[in-house]
Amino acid sequence: MVKKIKNELKYIDKPLLTLCLIMVCFGLLNIVTSSSREAATWDVSLYYYFYRQIVWIVAGGLLALIIMNIPTKKYNYWVMIGLVLVILALLYANIDPTFHRGSARWINLFGFVFQPGEFTKPFMVLLSVLFFDQYKKLVKRKPQEAKKILNLTFFVCLLIPLLIFLQRDFGNALIVGMIFLFCFLISDLDFQKKINYLFILVIVILIGALASFIHSGRVLEPHQLSRFNFLSPCTNYEHTGYQICNAYIAINEGGLFGVGIGESRQKYSYIDEPHTDMVFAIIIEEYGALFAGLILLVYTGIMLRIIHIGRSAKQKKLRYIAYGLMFYMFLQIFINLGGLFGLIPLTGVTLPFLSYGGSFTIAFLMGLGVVFRISIENRLAKIKIKKI
């Protein structure tokens, strides 16, 4: 078994692995400086968050390694098990949530506090793509059964973001919903069917918004609505614009070359939790805009490599899974940086590789494990063809 694992890992995509390792290492080291204020506030060691992040990376890496050695043909079985676990976790988080840092989107399981909404993101890619693939296989032979699968797909894939939204976690609910929409649009369903289901989707969203308004008198929480003042946040600096305006100051202070590693001033009592969703502002302040641009280039390289892996896949479902996971990463980056730069409302979404956080780090690395598995099977398929 060990020999088999080693043989398969030889075929892992080396460029993608290299870029990911570079980002993991930089993100890990940057957490030491970006979390220094937080460590002092809670009277813990300077390396407290650094060591904890290492634990999350090791845990996520081990799970990714396991995923890399599960053939994709077995994904249907594991996705069904995952579906049950995800629904149960989200229901539990709504019924008996654990409050953590003022949020009720967490679960405390045997002393481990985690956020189930983060794990639904890569899982939604697998769930929707594999369900749509199953529909495509049955639509000609068993049309009635195929229709039931398609209806079930929409029900489940709308239920999951709804359960996250009920936790008042609008950011993650939006990402999970958009991941499903993306996978739906790139699927092999015929054009007319896509139009029909999109119309139904809009009706369901409107009904859900109306039901929320009737129940509580609003669709979004007041603090969520206040974030729509993103185009001119500094006009209300003391309330809704405080975080963004201080991020702007950090970016301006950084200039092209930065103020120096560990020399950020905005992380001290100006930007809340600068090692999480606002970490990129601290990076620009300390390293400068040129270095930040280099990070964006590495992000682009990773996403382009994932697209290449998807295009090289022989099976359409694997191609769509790779594209879906790339879109998941793109959404995290776009929503985080879009909120930071005032292009869209700030939602507190984590930045891949760079932000501190256990649930997201583990879930994200598991998603990368799926991409690496697809790359391994691509290489193995080429070798098999050459032998024939």
Confidence at residue 347, expressed as pLDDT on a 0 to 100 scale: 78
Q: Rounded to whole angstroms, how far apart are CA atoms 163 and 155?
A: 12
The answer to whether 114 and 107 have CB atoms below 8 angstroms apart is yes
Are 72 and 133 in contact, with CB atoms under 8 Å apart? no
List, in order, residues 6 or more apart from 282 with CB less than 8 Å away.
30, 33, 34, 250, 264, 266, 267, 271, 274, 275
Query: Which pLDDT value is given to residue 26?
Result: 95
pLDDT in tens, the chain (388 residues): 566 666 667 888 999 999 999 999 999 999 988 888 788 777 788 888 999 999 999 999 999 999 998 999 999 889 999 889 888 888 887 776 666 554 556 676 666 677 888 899 999 999 999 999 998 888 888 888 888 888 888 888 888 888 888 777 778 888 999 999 999 999 888 888 889 888 888 887 787 777 666 656 666 665 555 566 666 666 666 666 677 888 888 888 988 999 998 888 888 767 777 888 889 999 999 999 999 999 999 999 999 999 999 999 989 999 999 999 999 999 999 999 998 888 888 777 899 999 998 889 999 999 999 999 999 999 887 776 666 5
| CA neighbor of 241 nearest in space, from 223, 215, 255 | 223
Residue-number span of the structural domain to which 79 is assigned = 2-387
The predicted model scores a pTM of 0.90
How far apart are the C-alpha atoms of 310 and 154, rounded to whole Å?
A: 24
Q: Which two tokens stand for residue 120?
A: 């639904």
Torsion angle of the four alpha carbons 51, 16, 71, 60, in this order, in degrees rounded to the nearest 10: 10
In our burial notation (b when 16+ CB lie closer than 10 A, e otherwise), range 290-302 reads ebbeebeeebebb
10 Å CB burial of residue 34 (0-12, 13-18, 19+) is buried
How many folded domains does the chain comprise?
A: 1
Q: Within 13 A of 253's CA, how many CA atoms are on the CB side? A: 18
220 Ramachandran zone, left/alpha/beta (phi>0; psi -120 to 50): beta
Buried/exposed 345-373: b ≥16 CB within 10 Å, e otherwise: bbbbbbbbbbbbbbbbbbbbbbbbbbbbb
> Starting from the edge strand earliest in sequence, which strands make up the sheet with 112-114, in order?
98-100, 103-109, 112-114
**Residue 303: CB partners within 8 Å, gap ≥ 6?**
326, 329, 330
CA pair distance 278, 257, nearest whole angstrom: 19
- In the three-class reduction of DSSP (H, G, I as helix; E, B as strand; rest coil), residue 232 is classed as coil
CA terminus-to-terminus distance, the chain:
25
